A and B are shown apart, each in its own frame.
Chain A
């Protein structure tokens, strides 16, 4: 049963026991779906909406690399975390994934990585929306005088919304446990 508002995580690992343990680690916070092959994962993604895919890199048959290439080409909009027993190499730069974990992972590591991926997703949504509002703000302030705009409620609402979003963006950046990432986001902002 899917609780409304809960995020859905698709777990893909050819080792059934490993996939089940990831499900155990995440099921309190998220709805989970388990698939044991890359091919089955792609079929699942074709039929259901998920918010995050947690996928083993090296699997017999269709590897995790191939699956996330498909996800990238199909322009699917969700976070992807790659899990692998192999230490990351320079090739991960080109990999269309939002997180990378080296096995074995503990419950805390996995939960942190998933939470962080969702935070990044939320941050990106905020920035995209803020940029849209900011564009409109620029156009309006170049078109009208400050006195004219002050009398328009929709403009003052826009200003209030932008202020609210700035606070939300700063708060989201602070929630990243990695201080380097927090600092980087704060500088961007």
Chain B
């Protein structure tokens, strides 16, 4: 008969004894501290088939242990009173199973069962290959959880609050949360697929312009020509226009601020700004007669010619409260649609963004 499987438990001796007393089929070595556990792993000639660790034994915590453990050994993180942050961090660090024994009727038995299961069927090691794709996948999983969970909480709170009172502010917040959700989806999509994948459809440009125009603004939208139906993806087109409008409305400036132009290429402001949107027809002798252009121009202080290339770079912002994401995302979407974008000065002195190579339907 062969030897029994071996597991290592790191945490309070009493819990270790209880796990051992449960009907687990593996032999259990118990060490009270992470330091002692790591020492055991260094000294032993027989590596355990599974490790169970409390999160916070004296001296060092489980995350230090995880750094020291070979990725082939499955680890059960069993914190004595955990929370979602510890769970997420543990899973991020590669633990195979997370179980908080204090939330279970019979925690030690559940841990013994988890050990048996992992010893019988060791999980595929996520960090074994460590390829770029796997790292990206793990990263996006963590990011999506950390961002989408609070969005769900916020949406839930709004819906519950609406049962108790009516307020247009709740509607505004809800709309903002929905936009954040959409943005996160798009960003995660970008990260996962390396490039933006789009589903081209027929989109009524006039409708999307209306949708994307911010509600709470004193700025004026002027649509200067009839806007056609074009080939694009509705969600991303709305995001593109939303970002361009936001740039004009929030970062456009009144003429009184023009003297600051040299220090701040995209000025702050808002009041009195007019944003003009219109179609650009192709030149008569152009090869691209089936495509049109679109301009979005404002009468703010414009963008300094020296900074026009940089405004589409991630992280670049002409203001202290800008994220430097807005126009970079615009550029990504333009690439994904196979369009072109250029920034110039509008006839009214502000910034003018020109989108080209748009297919009209």
Decide whether A and B are members of one complex. Answer: yes
Q: Which residues of A contact B (CB under 8 A)?
A: 14-15, 17-18, 20-22, 24-25, 37-39, 43, 58-63, 66, 84-87, 89, 102-107
Contact yes or no, A61 B152, CB < 8 A: no
In Å, the complex CA distance between A63 and B78 comes to: 12
Contact A21 to B159, CB < 8 A, known contacts A59-B84, A85-B152: yes
Contact yes or no, A103 B99, CB < 8 A: no
User: Is B156 located at the chain interface by the 8 A CB criterion?
Assistant: yes
Contact yes or no, B86 A60, CB < 8 A: yes
In Å, the complex CA distance between A58 and B90 comes to: 12
Contact A63 to B160, CB < 8 A, known contacts A38-B103, A103-B148, A103-B152: no
User: From residue 49 to 105 of chain B, which have CB atoms closer than 8 A to chain A?
Assistant: 82-84, 86-88, 91, 97-100, 102-105
Chain A contacts of B144 at CB under 8 A?
A: 85-87
Known contacts A17-B156, A60-B82, A61-B104; 18 additional CB pairs below 8 A are: A17-B153, A20-B156, A20-B160, A21-B155, A21-B159, A24-B160, A38-B103, A39-B105, A58-B84, A61-B103, A63-B87, A84-B145, A86-B141, A87-B140, A89-B137, A104-B151, A104-B155, A104-B177
In Å, the complex CA distance between A24 and B157 comes to: 11
Contact yes or no, A60 B84, CB < 8 A: yes
Nearest chain A residue, comparing its CB with the CB of B101: A61
Most buried by A among B86, B87, B102, B163: B87
Contact A62 to B145, CB < 8 A, known contacts A14-B84, A105-B152: no
User: Is B149 located at the chain interface by the 8 A CB criterion?
Assistant: yes
In the A-B complex, the 10 residue pairs with the smallest Cβ-Cβ separation, listed nearest first, are A61-B103, A21-B156, A85-B148, A61-B100, A104-B152, A103-B152, A85-B149, A85-B145, A18-B156, A104-B151
Nearest CB of chain A from residue B183's CB, rounded to whole Å: 13
User: Is B204 located at the chain interface by the 8 A CB criterion?
Assistant: no
In Å, the complex CA distance between A18 and B97 comes to: 24
Given A17, A59, A61, A66, which contacts B160 in the complex, CB threshold below 8 Å? A17
In Å, the complex CA distance between A66 and B111 comes to: 12
Chain A contacts of B104 at CB under 8 A?
A: 39, 61-62
Nearest CB of chain A from residue B178's CB, rounded to whole Å: 9
Chain A contacts of B137 at CB under 8 A?
A: 89
Nearest CB of chain A from residue B79's CB, rounded to whole Å: 8
Contact yes or no, A24 B149, CB < 8 A: no
User: Is B181 located at the chain interface by the 8 A CB criterion?
Assistant: yes
In Å, the complex CA distance between A154 and B41 comes to: 74
Chain B contacts of A21 at CB under 8 A?
A: 155-157, 159-160
User: Is B296 located at the chain interface by the 8 A CB criterion?
Assistant: no
Kindly state the interface size class of chain B when it binds its partner.
35 or more
In Å, the complex CA distance between A87 and B155 comes to: 19
Nearest CB of chain A from residue B169's CB, rounded to whole Å: 18
User: From residue 132 to 167 of chain B, which have CB atoms closer than 8 A to chain A?
Assistant: 137, 140-141, 144-145, 147-149, 151-153, 155-157, 159-160, 163
Chain A contacts of B88 at CB under 8 A?
A: 58
Chain B contacts of A89 at CB under 8 A?
A: 137, 141
In Å, the complex CA distance between A102 and B163 comes to: 24
Contact yes or no, B98 A63, CB < 8 A: yes
Majority-rule SS of B interface residues: helix
User: Is B188 located at the chain interface by the 8 A CB criterion?
Assistant: yes
Nearest CB of chain B from residue A86's CB, rounded to whole Å: 5
Contact A43 to B105, CB < 8 A, known contacts A61-B100, A103-B148, A104-B155: yes
In Å, the complex CA distance between A154 and B88 comes to: 61
Contact yes or no, A18 B103, CB < 8 A: no
Nearest CB of chain B from residue A64's CB, rounded to whole Å: 11
Chain B contacts of A15 at CB under 8 A?
A: 149, 152-153, 156
Most buried by B among A20, A59, A102, A103: A103
20 example contacts (A-B, Cβ-Cβ < 8 A) are as follows: A14-B84, A15-B149, A17-B160, A18-B152, A20-B156, A20-B160, A21-B156, A21-B159, A25-B159, A39-B104, A60-B84, A60-B86, A60-B87, A60-B98, A60-B100, A61-B102, A84-B145, A87-B141, A102-B148, A104-B155
Nearest chain A residue, comparing its CB with the CB of B155: A104
Nearest chain B residue, comparing its CB with the CB of A57: B145
Chain A contacts of B141 at CB under 8 A?
A: 86-87, 89
Chain A contacts of B153 at CB under 8 A?
A: 15, 17-18
Chain A contacts of B91 at CB under 8 A?
A: 58
In Å, the complex CA distance between A15 and B110 comes to: 23
Nearest CB of chain A from residue B188's CB, rounded to whole Å: 7
Nearest CB of chain B from residue A71's CB, rounded to whole Å: 15
Nearest CB of chain A from residue B148's CB, rounded to whole Å: 4
In Å, the complex CA distance between A43 and B181 comes to: 35
